[in-house]
Amino acid sequence: MTVQEQLDDLRRRALADLAAAADAAASAAWEHAYLGPKGELTRFLRGLGALAAEERPVAGRAGNALKQELSAAWTERDQALRAADLDLRLAADAVDVTLPGRRPLLGAIHPVTRMIDDLSEIFALLGFQTVVGPEVETAHYNFDLLNIPADHPARDVWDTIHVETDGTGGDEIVLRTHTSPMQARVMERTQPPVRVVVPGRVYRYEAQDASHEWAFHQLEGLAVDRNITMADLKGTLAELARQLFGPERRIRFRCDFFPFVEPGVDFAVDCAICNGQGCRVCKGSGWLELGGAGMVHPNVLRAVGYDPDAVSGFAFGLGIERLVMMQTGVDDVRAFAGNDLRFLRQIARAA
Ligand code: FA5
């Protein structure tokens, strides 16, 4: 075989092998086999010295030309294979971000909290400030200052949860049975005119049923000034009913007894759902009972240092869960504290 034939044969094999190299590792092996220090072409070029002097320059030029050609072919092929390798690795590592993400759970304001916010807003427009007070209360504020002395039978009307005391004979400690103790607390530290509403949780030692919880929420209202009358009370509650249940609503007062008001009433609004005709929500009566109210008893005014001949006032207390129930048609008060997310989601949409 002539030198040229040897080079042609080498070129054919080298280019065929290079075309067959499938990845970067095969490409590196090819470079080692043909162009590396012990590669076939390198060995050929080293062997040129053994040729006759007149053959050497021609063989040398042909060998170097082939070396350049193979180097260029290898560089091109090697880069293409490395790029393909990188593409493969990236594809294997890829995170598919085209799927829809998982929706985070969105919370909602509890219906009782929302009702408290709504009530505060309505009463703010009527000039009432919202204040809050302690849930752990002394019998002094929960009963005594509200004209319910220790031996008074009315004390039993509110089945009280007692908090253990240190036994030193100090004041009896209770969980407040209503928001009314804040009437006395506010009046003690403020001079008339007073206009406040007091939302908050109250507690009663009471069997639970669809309309009774042992812990629930009330909103207390108190207005004391010169010449406050029942008409102011009625106007205020009528406005509340209209804001909550619509412009046509009417208010009904019926005699009731609470030791801290005189006269005392329970108040109801005509049912917005059936327009007073009688339906499931108002239990056929046409009226929805909202709470108790009345003119602040002179003894209560006196107990906080007010002069009942100079000022008068009205007070009311309403059940917040019951208000939400009337608005939404929920018929079991126990659902509010039951922590059943299905109920909370449903009522968050309904309200
Ligand atoms: C009172 O608690 C008086 N303090 C209200 C008051 C304030 C009268 C100021 C006069 C002047 P009563 O116990 O009726 O009253 O409760 C008021 C409202 O709280 C009720 O109309 C009802 O809506 C709600 N309520 C009473 N007990 C429960 C209960 N166990 N579970 C849920 N709501 C209740």
Per residue in 285-298, pLDDT tens? 989 889 999 999 99
State yes or no: pLDDT of 284 exceeds 70: yes
* 147 confidence band (pLDDT: 50, 70, 90): very high
- With respect to residue 106, please indicate whether it lies within any of the assigned structural domains: no
Pure H helices in 190-297: 230-245
- Which atom number of ligand 1 is nearest to the Cα of residue 157? 13
Domain containing residue 53: 3-93
Residue corresponding to tokens 């009205």: 314
Q: Are residues 9 and 64 in the same domain?
A: yes
| 16-to-10, 25, 66, 78 alpha-carbon distances in Å | 10, 17, 14, 14
Taking the mean position of all CA atoms in its chain, how far away is CA 73? 65
Q: Are residues 178 and 305 in the same domain?
A: yes
The first and second tokens of residue 151, run together, are 């031996």
Q: Which of 61, 93, 125 is the last residue of a domain?
A: 93
State yes or no: pLDDT of 167 exceeds 80: no
- With respect to residue 286, please indicate whether it lies within any of the assigned structural domains: yes
Question: Residue 133 in contact with residue 198, Cβ under 8 Å?
Answer: yes
**Helices 320-328 & 111-125 angle (0-180, nearest 10):** 100
The answer to whether the CB of 317 is under 6 A from ligand 1 is yes
- Which atom number of ligand 1 is nearest to the Cα of residue 221? 9
* Interval between CA 319 and ligand 1 midpoint (Å): 6
- With respect to residue 345, please indicate whether it lies within any of the assigned structural domains: yes
Max avg pLDDT among 11-25, 78-92, 211-225: 211-225
Nearest Cα residue to atom 30 of ligand 1: 212
Section 303-312 average pLDDT: 97
State yes or no: pLDDT of 37 exceeds 70: yes
The pLDDT of residue 159 is 84
Q: Are residues 209 and 286 in the same domain?
A: yes
Query: What are the backbone angles phi and psi of residue 87, rounded to the nearest 5°?
Result: -55, -45
The answer to whether the CB of 294 is under 6 A from ligand 1 is yes
- With respect to residue 129, please indicate whether it lies within any of the assigned structural domains: yes
Number of structural domains the chain divides into: 2
The answer to whether the CB of 321 is under 6 A from ligand 1 is yes
Q: Which of 58, 93, 128 is the last residue of a domain?
A: 93
Helix (H) or strand (E) holding 119: helix 111-125
State yes or no: pLDDT of 339 exceeds 70: yes
Burial 197-226 (b: 16+ CB within 10 A, else e): bbbbbbbbeeeeeeeebbebbbbbbbbbee
- The overall average pLDDT reported for the chain is 90
- With respect to residue 41, please indicate whether it lies within any of the assigned structural domains: yes
**What is the rounded CA–CA span in Å between residue 351 and residue 349?**
6
- With respect to residue 45, please indicate whether it lies within any of the assigned structural domains: yes
Q: Are residues 318 and 248 in the same domain?
A: yes
Section 76-83 average pLDDT: 91
State yes or no: pLDDT of 350 exceeds 60: no
Section 80-97 average pLDDT: 87
Q: Are residues 64 and 152 in the same domain?
A: no
The answer to whether the CB of 143 is under 6 A from ligand 1 is no
Query: What are the backbone angles phi and psi of residue 255, rounded to the nearest 5°?
Result: -60, 140
Q: Are residues 223 and 130 in the same domain?
A: yes
Q: Which residues contact 278 (CB under 8 A, 6 or more apart)?
A: 271, 284, 285, 286
* Interval between CA 219 and ligand 1 midpoint (Å): 9
* 58 confidence band (pLDDT: 50, 70, 90): confident
Section 65-82 average pLDDT: 91
State yes or no: pLDDT of 132 exceeds 80: yes
Q: Which of 93, 123, 140 is the last residue of a domain?
A: 93
Q: Are residues 132 and 248 in the same domain?
A: yes
Q: Are residues 60 and 174 in the same domain?
A: no
197-238: per-residue pLDDT in tens? 999 999 999 888 888 899 999 999 999 999 999 999 999 999
* Interval between CA 280 and ligand 1 midpoint (Å): 22
DSSP bridge pairs for 296: 261
* 273 confidence band (pLDDT: 50, 70, 90): confident
- With respect to residue 104, please indicate whether it lies within any of the assigned structural domains: no
Q: Are residues 45 and 144 in the same domain?
A: no
**What is the rounded CA–CA span in Å between residue 329 and residue 278?**
14
The answer to whether the CB of 323 is under 6 A from ligand 1 is no
Q: Are residues 185 and 278 in the same domain?
A: yes
The first and second tokens of residue 37, run together, are 């220090």
Nearest Cα residue to atom 32 of ligand 1: 212
**Model-level pTM greater than 0.85?**
no
- With respect to residue 173, please indicate whether it lies within any of the assigned structural domains: yes
Q: Are residues 65 and 155 in the same domain?
A: no
CATH of the domain at 146: 3.30.930.10
The answer to whether the CB of 112 is under 6 A from ligand 1 is no
Taking the mean position of all CA atoms in its chain, how far away is CA 270? 34
State yes or no: pLDDT of 351 exceeds 60: no
Q: Are residues 289 and 180 in the same domain?
A: yes
Instruction: Please give the full DSSP string across 6-53, using - where no structure is assigned.
Output: HHHHHHHHHHHHHHH--SHHHHHHHHHHHTSTTSHHHHHHHGGGGS-T
Nearest to 234 by CA among 270, 259, 262, 265: 265
